[in-house]
Structures are given as C-alpha cells and as structure tokens.
C-alpha cells in the first residue's frame, strides 16, 4: 500500500513538474463528465413535461440538456489533445530518468544483472503507460464521480434500484483477478520478449546481416524469432483468455440486473406510481450503471498497471542508490607508487568460473605494462577491473595504496583514457568523434589534429569535418578507419593516470600493431612525470616487446612476467609463443 502511494506521488510530482497546465486540464474533465451524465435527468423531465404539457418544465429541461451536454462535449473535445501532450511530456520525463539511472550505474555488473534488465525492459515497454499516469488518475476521479452521480439518480428513481450495484459488484473481483493474471504474465514473458526483439533486430543490423547471408542462417534466425515470440506471447494470451472468460461471467450477472430494474420501473409506471419520465431515466441509467460500476474498476485496474510501472522506477532508483559505490576518496592527480593487485580473484556475476584467481601484481608508476595471453585468458577482464567497471570478487586493487573500491568512480574514470576492443562508432563529424575523448576539448581543432596525427589517423580520415554515419547522409568508414579514430580518442585526454589499449588493433597486421604500440609507448613518456601507467593488451606476443613489463595471462593467473629480454632468456611459454608467432609472420620464400 505504501508503495502504491509512493507511486502516486511520483506520478503526480513528475506531471506537475513537466506540465502544470496539462494537470489542471486533467482535473476539469471529471467535473464536466458529471454535467454530461445529468442528461438522463433532463431527458426524463422533458418526457414528463411533454406528457403533462408543462411549458416551464419543458423549458427548464431543454436548457439543462443543452448546457450540460454542450459543456461536457466541449471539455471532452478540447482536452483530448492536451491530455496527449501531457502524456507525451510525462513519458519523455520518465524515459530520460530511466536512461539517466541506467547510465549512472557505476559498473557493468549491474547492466548484466538479469533482474535489472527485465525491469528496464518492462519500463521501456510501459513507457506510454507511465506517461498516461496522471490521465489514468483523472479517469479514476472521473469514473468515481460519475458512479456517485449515477447512484444518486438511481436512488431518486427508486431506492431498490441500488440493488443493481450489488449485482454488478462481482466486476470488482473480476477486475482484480484480471489484473493479477496480466501482471504475472508480463513478468514471465519479459525475458523471451527481449530475446524475440533482439533476434528481430538482427534483420536490420548491417553487421549481423553480413554473416547471416554468408552462413545462410536467415531461416534459422526467423525460426528462432518465431519460437521466442511464441514463448513470449503464450502467457500473455493465456492471461487474456482468462480475462475474457471472467468478463463473460461479469457481464451475464449485470445483464440479469438490468432486465430486472427496467421491469420494476415499467411496472410502477403502468400502475401510476411513477412518472413516465422515469422509464426514460432508468433506460438511460441502465447503460450508465454498467459503466458506473465497471469503469471505476477498469480505470483502477489501468491505474494499477501504471502504478506498477512507477514502482519499477522507484525500484530502479533505489537499486541505483544502493549500487552507488561509497567512493569517499577522490582519485589522485599523480601516481607515485603505482597500482597493485593484491590477491585479486574475479568471476562474472552469475558465473561459477574464475576468470582471474589470486592474482598479485605491481604496476609501477610511469611504466608501460603489456598484457598478453591467448583468447579468453582474461586480458579484457583485467582492464575492466583496473577501470573500476567491475569490482574484484576477492582481493583488492590499490591505487597508490588506496583501495580502488573506495575511490569515487567518476573521479577515477576522469583519470582514464582507453581504446577498447569493441570501440564505439560515434556518428558525429570525424573531429568530434575524436574530440569526445576529452569533452571540454570537443571543438579544440588543434588538440584533435594532434591526437589524430599521433594515432596515425590523418591518412585514414583526411577530412576531420566529414560527417560519419549513413543514417545522417554521411560517410561510413572501414573497421580500420574507425579503429584509428578510437585510438586518436584515447590520446585526447590530458592528466590521465591510466591509459589502456585493449586490442583495438585487431584488424592491423602485426608490424602495424607493433608500430602503433611503439607510438603509445612513446606517448607514455609525456605522462611519466605524473606517474601515468600505460597498459597495452594483445594476444600477439610479438608486438609488445618494447613494454617495460610484460605479463602472460593463462589458467586464470599470471603465468609469467618480466621484460621481453628476461622472458626470452627464461625460454619458457612466452619465448615459445613469441618465437612461433614471429616465425609465422615472416614472409615465406
Ligand atoms: N560479461 C561476461 N559474463 C560472463 N563471462 C564473461 C563475460 N565477459 C567475458 N567472460 C568470460 O571471461 C573469460 C575472459 O574473457 P576476456 O574477455 O577477459 O578474455 P580476453 O583475454 O580479453 O580474450 P580475447 O583475447 O579473446 O579478447 C572468457 O572465458 C569469457 O567467456
């Protein structure tokens, strides 16, 4: 109950904040509806006036009819557009809030939590319902006021007609059950619905489209989409069938009541115990009683759905609050000792497999660390841990002796620069696609040109002003060209303490990758006085030989470490893999 009231306050507060006029218009509507409902009374009086030849009664009832019906129509017509504007504004406000909450979750683990994903998915689907929250409340007020008006009129005709309401009461239980079935079905169908939409999205995805065509899996994707959609729809359809059956029972009860009520009044009129106008009124009310009983239930049930969505927003707010790391310490502006991994173990949320186990490592301030290892060895995971995107499952990462988990995440990330394996492809101008690497310098052409030169991106994208992305009638780039921009982006930020290159060079040949890593090693010199650490990640052993320190990840741990010379001299795994890779890259005669 408390949760429902909190949801009501959230919906009203948001609507009032974004559209006060719309809220006031929504309030007027229930009152205008009462005027419209009085039409039955005026019609009844008009009938009696005509039969009794009473001009005053005729004039009064016609005047009441014209004023009431006109006012009610006018308000209805003139507010319908305003209602839509209010709904759109509120929906947009919630959309922005959900996006903000998701974007501010501190780590990636929360994004991967299936509970969060399902709730967010439901919120996306129900965005319109949230928008109509205040309108739904106005509908509840309108239906309740309407119900009271109809009840009063019924009593005026004959108090026994109130029994109609009793006969229509099962509708309340029916609506409650319908709502419960629908809510349960929505929760169960969220995950298969997400899968179905994902699979359907593949049809529009250009990158996926290439492989779908080459491997001829379009039919299989279609089959799986249809299956996921069937699994998604099944509980919803079952809930709707149950709802329809329950509605049938409800309407039958009501129909019996209406026949009885009309019969009773007709009998009284025929016996001269009631004016003839009462027949008109009871026939009119017969239709209104049904609405008067069912509508509050339906509108309350619709409001229930909206309140559930609002409760999900509350849940997400609280989840985001709870997930906020207690970052009490601001990140340092320089490193003096460096970064230490103290017996760090990590497994992904929901996974039983250790990706890193008991890893201890010191990355000296101002050094260049190369992380090598086979595919799946945990290199990217190590980078994500250093970036604070995940917290270690066990152990600590110390930044100049301070636990990274206690550093303010935003402040730590403002000290990072990175080029990731799965780099972003921002559809901006080429210059801005680089400039966002340091937002305050977004339009600093000098800095952008410098970063592009250092990343060797000027050859790949000669015109920094070119618009990227065919969606905006711009140009599309090759993977290698996008990579160059990602590398330039990683060189934009100044005052960084940690710079990563997580295999953004995968599509380059080994020598180009090596040349690029050398550039970044050289770029590391510029940050050495503040102790900046550079981390180069590769699964190619031959490209990172100039790094100060090399670690080989294997079997969830650091298998070997040292300089290139030390590792070669040790004639172990690194030496074997280095020599075999180097041989395979040599041209054959
Ligand atoms: N989000 C995730 N949830 C669960 N497991 C994951 C997730 N991301 C990665 N893994 C698993 O963690 C292990 C290490 O992955 P990681 O991406 O760190 O390897 P990598 O060394 O960077 O590999 P590659 O060279 O192929 O990029 C793999 O077994 C992978 O399947």
Which ranges of 203-217 does DSSP label H, i.e. alpha helix?
206-214
**Residue numbers of the chain with a pLDDT score lower than 70:** 110, 325-327, 504-510, 542, 583-589
Best mutation site among 110, 378, 504 for ligand 1, i.e. most ligand atoms within 8 A of its Cβ?
Answer: 378
**Residue ranges in 408-549 assigned as alpha helix (H):** 409-413, 430-435, 445-454, 479-490, 510-526
CA of 337 to the centre of ligand 1 (A): 29
pLDDT of residue 56: 93
Going by alpha carbons, the residue nearest to atom 4 of ligand 1 is 348
Domain ranges of the chain: 2-323, 329-415+498-589, 423-494
Tokens representing 358 are 């008991």
**C-alpha of residue 357 to centroid of ligand 1, in Å:** 14
CA distance 23 to 166: 34
Residue 381 CA, ligand 1 centroid: distance in Å: 6
Q: Which residues line ligand 1 (CB under 6 A)?
A: 112, 348, 351, 355, 373, 375-381, 421, 539
CA-nearest residue for atom 25, ligand 1, is 375
What the block records as the tokens of 350 is: 């929901």
Planar angle of CA 381, 383, 389, nearest 5 degrees = 80
| C-alpha of residue 382 to centroid of ligand 1, in Å | 10
**Please, which residues have CB within 8 angstroms of residue 163's CB and are 6 or more apart in sequence?**
257, 260, 261
ipTM over 0.85: yes
CA of 195 to the centre of ligand 1 (A): 22
Q: Which residue CA neighbors atom 27 of ligand 1 most closely?
A: 375
Q: From the CA of 394, how far away is ligand 1's center (Å)?
A: 18
The predicted-structure confidence for 481-502, as pLDDT tens digits, reads as follows: 888 899 899 989 888 999 988 8
Residues in the chain: 589
Ligand 1 atom nearest the C-alpha of 381 is 18
pLDDT (0 to 100) of residue 504: 66
Spacing, Cα 510 to ligand 1 middle (Å): 22
- Residue with the smallest CA separation from ligand 1 atom 6 is 348
Give pLDDT tens digits for 206-246.
778 777 887 788 889 899 999 999 999 999 999 999 888 98
Provide the pLDDT for residue 584: 63
Report pLDDT for 340. 95
Ligand 1: centre distance to CA 376 (Å)? 5
Residue with CA at minimum distance from ligand 1 atom 12: 355
Class level of CATH domain 329-415+498-589: alpha beta
Handedness of CA 222, 223, 225, 226 (dihedral sign): positive
User: Ligand 1 pocket check: which of 349, 353, 374, 380 to mutate, most ligand atoms within 8 Å of Cβ?
Assistant: 380
Give the position, in ligand 1's atom list, of the atom nearest the Cα of 553: 21
Nearest CA to ligand 1 atom 29: 376
Residue 487 Cα to ligand 1 middle (Å): 22
Predicted confidence at residue 223, as pLDDT, reads 92
Cα-Cα-Cα-Cα dihedral sign, residues 381, 385, 387, 388 = positive
Question: Is-contact 504 419, C-beta < 8 A?
Answer: yes
pLDDT at 588: 46
Ligand 1 atom nearest to CA at 377: 21
Residue located nearest, by CA, to atom 24 of ligand 1: 375
Among 381, 387, 559, residue to substitute to test ligand 1 (most atoms within 8 Å of Cβ) = 381
Longest dimension (CA), the chain: 119
Ligand 1 closest atom vs CA 503:
27
The strand pair at 549-554 and 368-373 is best described as parallel
* DSSP symbols for 70-137: HHHHHHHHHHHHHHHHHHHHHHHHHHHHHHHHHHT-SSHHHHH-HHHHHHHHHHHHTHHHHHTHHHHH
What's the token pair of residue 507?
Answer: 């599509």
> Ligand 1 centre and the CA of 306: distance in Å?
39
Return d(Cα 529, Cα 510) in angstroms, integer: 30
Report the distance separating Cα 164 and Cα 292, nearest Å: 11
Q: What pLDDT does residue 532 have?
A: 92
Distance 359 CA to ligand 1 centre (A): 16
Separation of alpha carbons 183 and 335, rounded Å? 53
Query: If you take atom 17 of ligand 1, which residue's CA is the nearest one?
Result: 380
Query: Ligand 1 center to residue 356 CA distance, Å?
Result: 10
Q: Pick from 350, 357, 376 the residue to mutate for probing ligand 1's pocket: most ligand atoms within 8 Å of its CB.
A: 376
- In 3D space, the residue among 515, 535, 254 whose CA is nearest the CA of residue 368 turns out to be 535
Give 371 Cα–ligand 1 centroid separation in angstroms. 14
User: Which residue's C-alpha comes closest to atom 20 of ligand 1?
Assistant: 376
C-alpha 413: how far from chain center: 23
Q: Could you give the CA distance from residue 552 to residue 423 in angstroms, rounded to a whole number? A: 24
Phi, psi of 432 (to 5 degrees): -70, -30
Q: Phi first, then psi: give them for residue 200, nearest 5 degrees.
A: -65, -35
The CATH architecture that domain 2-323 belongs to is Up-down Bundle (1.20)
Mutate to test the pocket of ligand 1, among 351, 353, 354, 355 (most ligand atoms within 8 A of CB): 355
Q: Give pTM, 2 decimals.
A: 0.66
CA of 390 to the centre of ligand 1 (A): 13
Residue with the smallest CA separation from ligand 1 atom 28 is 376
> 């308000």: which residue's tokens?
75
């Amino acid at each position: 109950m408390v949760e429902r009231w909190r949801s009501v306050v959230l919906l009203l507060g948001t609507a009032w904040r974004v559209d006060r006029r719309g809220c006031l218009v929504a309030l007027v509507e229930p009152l205008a509806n009462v005027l419209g409902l009085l039409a039955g009374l005026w019609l009844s009086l008009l009938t009696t006036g005509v039969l009794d030849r009473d001009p005053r009664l005729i004039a009064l009832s016609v005047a009441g009819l014209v004023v009431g019906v006109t006012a009610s129509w006018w308000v209805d017509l003139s507010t319908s557009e305003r209602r839509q504007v209010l709904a759109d504004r509120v929906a947009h406000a919630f959309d922005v809030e959900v996006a903000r909450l998701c974007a501010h979750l501190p780590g990636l683990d929360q994004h991967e939590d299936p509970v969060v994903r399902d709730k967010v998915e439901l919120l996306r689907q129900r965005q319109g319902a949230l928008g109509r929250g205040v309108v739904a409340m106005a509908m509840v007020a309108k239906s309740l006021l309407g119900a009271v008006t109809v009840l009063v009129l019924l009593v005026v005709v004959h108090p026994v007609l109130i029994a109609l309401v009793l006969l229509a009461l099962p509708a309340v239980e029916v609506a409650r059950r319908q709502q419960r079935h629908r809510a349960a079905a929505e929760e169960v169908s969220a995950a298969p619905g997400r899968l179905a939409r994902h699979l359907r999205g593949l049809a529009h995805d250009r990158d996926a489209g290439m492989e779908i065509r080459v491997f001829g899996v379009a039919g299989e994707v279609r089959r799986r989409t249809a299956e996921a959609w069937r699994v998604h729809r099944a509980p919803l359809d079952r809930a709707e069938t149950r709802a329809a059956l329950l509605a049938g029972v409800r309407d039958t009860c009501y129909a019996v009541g209406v026949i009885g009520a009309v019969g009773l009044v007709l009998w009284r009129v025929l016996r001269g115990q009631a004016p003839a106008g009462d027949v008109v009124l009871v026939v009119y009310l017969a239709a209104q009683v049904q609405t008067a009983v069912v509508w509050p239930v339906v509108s309350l049930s619709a409001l229930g759905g909206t309140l559930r969505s609002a409760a999900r927003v509350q849940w997400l707010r609280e989840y985001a609050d709870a997930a906020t790391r207690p970052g009490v310490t601001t990140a340092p502006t320089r490193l003096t000792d460096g970064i230490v991994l103290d017996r760090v173990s990590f497994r992904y949320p929901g996974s039983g497999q250790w990706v890193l186990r008991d890893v201890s490592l010191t990355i000296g301030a101002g050094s260049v660390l190369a992380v090598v290892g086979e595919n799946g060895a945990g290199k990217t995971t190590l980078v994500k841990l250093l970036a604070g995107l995940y917290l270690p499952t066990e152990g600590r990462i110390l930044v100049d002796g301070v636990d990274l988990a206690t550093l303010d995440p935003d402040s730590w990330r403002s000290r990072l620069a990175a080029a990731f394996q799965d780099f972003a492809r921002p559809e901006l101008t080429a210059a801005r696609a680089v400039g966002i690497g340091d937002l305050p310098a977004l339009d600093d052409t000098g800095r952008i040109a410098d970063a592009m030169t250092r990343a060797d991106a000027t050859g790949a994208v000669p015109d920094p002003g070119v618009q990227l992305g065919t969606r905006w009638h711009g140009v599309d780039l090759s993977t290698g060209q996008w990579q160059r921009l990602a590398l330039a982006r990683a060189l934009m930020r100044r005052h960084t303490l940690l710079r990563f290159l997580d295999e953004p060079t995968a599509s380059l040949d080994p020598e180009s990758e090596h040349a690029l890593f050398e550039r970044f090693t050289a770029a590391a010199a510029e940050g050495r006085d503040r102790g900046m650490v550079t981390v180069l990640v590769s699964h190619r052993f031959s490209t990172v030989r100039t790094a100060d320190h090399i670690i080989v990840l294997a079997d969830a741990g650091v298998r070997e470490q040292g300089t290139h010379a030390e590792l070669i001299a040790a004639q172990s795994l690194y030496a074997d893999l280095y020599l075999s890779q180097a041989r395979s890259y040599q041209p054959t005669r």
